[in-house]
């Protein structure tokens, strides 16, 4: 069970359920437009009266509009709905150490207008430029701007909205600044204690018809331990802007950075006589066994991948 911070939790109220249903209806219109009220009611199992009330509110807010009638399935032709995307409804601000982008977007997430300017080392000047552009975009828009979102290349405290850490470089060369900013490096350290293993005889000592399953005489259970596993993996990612909202991500992964040989399994079968007495000395080190079926964890491996978001 996930532990909750009771100081930051709120009980669900009637408005919470209403807001959730509103978001569900709005998302159905966004993903499946044009769509009718009846189809939304069938898909969500909500009452038609509930759907009609939500759609009426969304229409009054300018988020949804009617676009005509659909095909009849035996009764009255349904009225189809779609998102109202004639004007911008939100403004997004992306601030990086070298460049700040301000753009307007419609309800479907399409960019309508965009402007960029170099990020000033003085945060007050950058903020002033952002406020100016937001004001210009708002003045041009015929509808209402519902929200302004700001993205930073770092950590933000969600309780205060303050930036905790922002990646930046003070290099004079703009190319160097671009290369040194926006990089993400992750390191994974793995340390596992050795797992126990049984040393078994090559004969069926207890006569149950299963060979390689009985321990030799004088050998206790789990008398052998596999080596401790130590491993370091490295991951590097970087987003590269291409055009507008189109971005490419470079992903590089290096497995087992130090190329440490790590034994995973070993053949622990020992040759014994019919009474279970070992005919050879029993190794105390897993690497001393004759290992025709041994296996090890992966050795050093490099992987390179690309992903495009648009």
Cα–Cα dist 183/255, whole Å: 19
Residue 114, classified by CB atoms within 10 Å of its CB into exposed (0-12), middle (13-18) or buried (19+), is middle
Q: Please give the Cα distance from 256 to 300 (Å, whole number).
A: 5
> If you average pLDDT over residues 286-300, what whole number do you get?
68
* Element counts in the chain: helices (H) and strands (E): 5, 19
**Tokens standing for 259?**
């190329």
* CB of 153 closer than 8 Å to CB of 165: no
pLDDT exceeds 60 at position 175: no
pLDDT beyond 60 at 55: yes
What is d(CA 190, CA 177) in angstroms, rounded to the nearest whole number? 33
- What's the CATH class of domain 90-166? alpha beta
Pairing relationship of beta strands 229-243 and 246-255 according to DSSP bridges = antiparallel
Given a cut of 80, whether residue 73 has pLDDT beyond it is no
pLDDT greater than 80 at residue 270? yes
Task: Check if the beta carbon of residue 153 is closer than 8 Å to that of residue 101.
Answer: no
pLDDT above 90 (res 20): no
Residue 8, pLDDT above cutoff 60: no
Q: Categorize the per-residue pLDDT at 293 as very low, low, confident or very high, splitting at 50, 70 and 90.
A: very low
Phi then psi dihedrals of residue 104, to 5 deg: -105, 150
What is the DSSP secondary-structure string of 162-184? -EEEE-----SSHHHHHHHSSEE
**Residue 66 class from Cβ within 10 Å (0-12 exposed, 13-18 middle, 19+ buried)?**
middle
| All residues at 6 or more sequence positions from 157 whose CB lies less than 8 Å from its CB, including other chains | 163, 164
The count of residues in the chain is: 310
Between 86-90, 231-235, 292-296, the lowest mean confidence (pLDDT) is in 292-296
pLDDT band (50, 70, 90) for residue 167 = low
Distance, C-alpha 144 to centroid of its chain:
32
Higher pLDDT, 297 or 10: 297
Structural domain boundaries of the chain?
14-83, 90-166, 182-309
Backbone angles phi, psi at 33, to 5 degrees: -65, 145
E-assigned strand segments in the chain: 35-36, 64-69, 79-83, 90-95, 99-105, 111-118, 147-151, 154-156, 163-166, 183-192, 196-197, 200-201, 224-225, 229-243, 246-255, 263-265, 269-270, 295-296, 301-309
Name the percent of the chain lying above pLDDT 90.
7
Mean pLDDT, the chain, integer: 80
CATH assignment of 14-83, among 3.40.50.970, 1.10.10.10, 3.90.1150.10, 3.40.50.1100: 1.10.10.10
What confidence score (pLDDT) does residue 33 get?
79
Report the pLDDT averaged over residues 118-122.
84
Same fold, 14-83 and 90-166: no
Per-residue pLDDT band for 252 (boundaries 50, 70, 90) equals very high
In the prediction, which pLDDT does 267 show? 84
pLDDT higher than 70, residue 7: no
Buried b (16+ CB within 10 A) or exposed e, 132-166: ebbeebeeebeeeeeebeeeebeeeeeeeeeeeee
- Whether the model pTM is above 0.85: no
Give 269's strand partners.
200
- CA dist 209 and 203 (Å) reads 10
Lowest mean pLDDT segment, chosen from 66-75, 103-112, 248-257: 66-75
Tell me what the mean pLDDT of segment 66-84 comes to. 78
């Amino acid at each position: 069970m996930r532990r909750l911070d009771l100081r930051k939790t709120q009980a669900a109220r009637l408005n919470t359920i209403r807001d959730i249903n509103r978001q569900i209806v709005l998302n159905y219109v966004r993903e499946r437009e044009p769509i009718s009220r009846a189809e939304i009611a069938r898909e969500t199992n909500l009452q038609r009266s509930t759907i009609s009330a939500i759609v009426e509110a969304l229409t009054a807010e300018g988020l949804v509009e009617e676009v005509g009638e659909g095909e009849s399935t035996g009764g009255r032709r349904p009225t189809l709905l779609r998102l109202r995307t004639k004007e911008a409804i939100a403004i997004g601000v992306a601030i990086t150490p070298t460049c700040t982008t301000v753009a307007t977007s419609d309800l479907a997430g399409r960019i309508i207008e965009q402007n960029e300017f170099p990020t000033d080392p003085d945060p007050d000047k950058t903020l002033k430029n952002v406020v100016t552009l937001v004001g210009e975009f708002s003045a041009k828009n015929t509808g209402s701007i519902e929200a302004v979102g700001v993205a930073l290349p770092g950590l933000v405290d969600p309780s205060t909205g303050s930036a905790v850490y922002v990646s930046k470089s003070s290099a004079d060369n703009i190319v160097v600044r671009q290369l040194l900013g926006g990089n993400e490096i992750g390191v994974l350290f793995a340390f596992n204690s050795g797992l126990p293993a049984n040393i078994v005889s090559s004969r069926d000592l207890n006569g149950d018809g299963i060979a390689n399953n009985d321990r030799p005489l004088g050998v206790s259970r789990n008398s052998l331990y596999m080596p401790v596993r130590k491993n370091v993996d490295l991951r590097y990612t970087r987003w590269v802007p291409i055009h507008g909202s189109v971005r490419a991500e470079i992903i590089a992964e290096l497995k087992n950075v130090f190329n440490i040989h790590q034994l995973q399994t070993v053949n622990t079968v020992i040759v014994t006589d019919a009474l279970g007495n070992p005919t050879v000395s029993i190794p105390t080190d897993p690497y001393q066994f004759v290992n025709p079926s041994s296996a090890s964890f992966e050795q050093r491996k490099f992987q390179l991948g690309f992903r495009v978001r648009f």
